[in-house]
Amino acid sequence: MTDRRTPLARARGLGSAKEGVHHWWMQRLTAIALIPLVVWFAISLVMLSGADYQVVRAWIGSPLVMVMLILTIGIGLHHGQLGMQVVWEDYTEGAFRVVMIVLTKFLAVLFGLGAIVAILRIGFGG
């Protein structure tokens, strides 16, 4: 059967990495989401300065803060590992590059899940 797709349709989404604009788009999408989250977090951090353990724990465990913190840390780590991937791709090569990219992604998931479990545990009183 002949390929009825146009040359443009075949080429679309096939950059050098064969994954199209997904990486680029995810980086922008997480960037937009992080604008309000980082503003909120920076203000909260400054307000919390000098607070003792009980105050910080109560703050983390309140429902709205739990949601905002999980979003901030989760999306922040996602945006960060996307950016670090580009940094490794720009400045390193070969096996070292692959190892560092994989390590970056593993570390982001590990710390992200650790933080989410911690927030839920604090919030639900473990």
Partner 1 sequence: MSVANRPVHRPLSPHLQIYRPQLTSILSILHRATGIALAVGALYLALWVMCAMSPAAYAHFQSFNTSLLGRFVLGGWLFSAFFHLCNGIRHLFWDAGYGFELKDAYRSGWIVVGVSLVATIVSWIVGLRLI
The token pair at 84 is 């670090």
Using CB under 8 A as the binding rule, whether residue 15 contacts partner 1 is answered as no
Q: 35: Cβ–Cβ under 8 A, 6 or more apart, which residues? A: none
Tell me which stretch binds partner 1 (CB under 8 A): 7-15, 40-48, 92-100: 40-48
Tell me which stretch binds partner 1 (CB under 8 A): 3-11, 14-22, 52-60, 95-103: 52-60
Nearer to partner 1, 5 or 106 (CB): 106
Angstrom distance (rounded) from CA 20 to CA 13: 4
Using CB under 8 A as the binding rule, whether residue 33 contacts partner 1 is answered as no
Angstrom distance (rounded) from CA 14 to CA 93: 22
DSSP of 68-106? HHHHHHHHHHHHHHHHHHHHHHHH--HHHHHHHHHHHHH
- Residues forming the site for partner 1 (CB under 8 A): 28, 31-32, 34-35, 38-39, 42, 45-47, 49, 53, 56-57, 60, 69, 72-73, 76-77, 80-81, 83-84, 87, 104, 107-108, 111-112, 114-115, 118-119, 121-122, 126
